[in-house]
Amino acid sequence: MTFELRLPDVGEGVAEGEIVRWLVAEGATVKEDDLLVEVLTDKAEMEIPSPVSGVLARIAATAGQTVKVGEVIALIETEGMSAHPARPGNAVDVPPAQSTDSAPHGYPSHGVDALATPAVRKIAKDLGVDLSGLTGTGPAGRMSEEDVRRAARSSATAAGTEPREERIPFRGKRRMAAKKMVLSKSTVPHALLVDEADATNLLSMREAIRGVAEHEGVKITVLPFIVQAVVTALRVHPDINASLDEERGEIIRKKHYDIGIAVDAEEGLVVPVIKDAGDKTIVELARDMERLSDAARTGKLSIADVSGGTFTVTSIGSIGGLWSYPVINIPEAAILGVHKIVKRPVVRDGAVVPRDMMYLSLSFDHRLIDGGAATRFMNDVIRQIENLALE
């Protein structure tokens, strides 16, 4: 009998996933709970284990392919090998696909070619790279996409020519983020509010507790203070901490404060969520941000890490930029952009003095939030930032 491995429903509204790479090759023997494939959803990257023991007879969804939840992605021949029978509805009489490839760790090899997945082989073919005799940087010498592109560049240099352009597959986290951005901009009427905050006291507070945080192994940035200010303002303005259930015609006011933090990861923007941010100290918030940011940049976020956000903060201040127009992280109602802090002359008590000033930009869903409500919320965020003081 053959077991149909289908893309599982992981909840949180995930409807589809992109196959990143197979961890074993067709024809390989697998045991129950062996990891088979990496899949990327609009929430996170995950590894799917084998529900049964047997032989991976056929890979039905290749790297780079997007499949719906419930679609078959592989067939596993279980007859005479599985300690547990195939689940009802999953067993089909399909002859297993034959594979002549064999290689250590389940990776395919073709004659004297280097070890490489089908997706990497396609890139090599498109770039005119001969894999014969090449050794990759991956496990057991497996070729990665970067190994192939490096070989292509070396060949071009040796030939005295340079390519006029480079084509990069539009997939993975970049494509998932793009789909969500398009959905947000095409379905939500964005409105924008820009204001400025005096961050002088905030910087003084950060310096005052920096030593305590470093003693606990935590680096303090301005972002934990911003998140704390946002949560305080959200408590006063519940319309901002909300979402719209269009199907039921209901506005959902959230009674919890789970704040998303946009992270500029190499493969695309991701938004891990700090759970119960309103119950945490500055140091605790900073520790959570470090953990989630590191996990985002190394692709180790779980579904739980990126689910359930009620409001998002995106900070590009460390990179630069005067101000921006952030895209709302649907289904949330608003997102706050935080920008670089610049010392400039301002008037205080009739005198011109130097202060550390910062622009803030609030994108909000105009179906749920009017301009007046957005401005009152922003005023309270600014008030919290400016009135920071050591007790």
Q: For the chain, give the secondary structure using H, E and C.
A: CEEEEECCCCCCCCCEEEEEEECCCCCCEECCCCEEEEEECCCCEEEEECCCCEEEEEECCCCCCEEECCCEEEEEECCCCCCCCCCCCCEECCCCCCCCCCCHHHCCCCCCECCCCHHHHHHHHHHCCCCECCCCCCHHHCCCHHHHHHHHHHHHHHCCCCCCCCCCCCCHHHHHHHHHHHHHHHHCCEEEEEEEEECHHHHHHHHHHHHHHHHCCCCCCCHHHHHHHHHHHHHHCCCCCEEEECCCCEEEECCCCCEEECEEECCEEECCEECCHHHCCHHHHHHHHHHHHHHHHCCCCCCHHHCCCCEEEEECCCCCCCCCCCCCCCCECEEEEEEEEEEEEEEECCEEEEEEEEEEEEEEECCCCCHHHHHHHHHHHHHHHHCCCCC
Whether the CB-CB separation of 276 and 184 falls below 8 Å is answered with no
Residue 105: active-site member: no
Phi, psi (rounded to 5 degrees) for 31: -110, 160
d(CA 384, CA 282): 14
Catalytic residue, candidates 105, 190, 339, 366: 366
Whether the CB-CB separation of 58 and 26 falls below 8 Å is answered with yes
What amino acid positions are annotated as catalytic residues?
A: 366
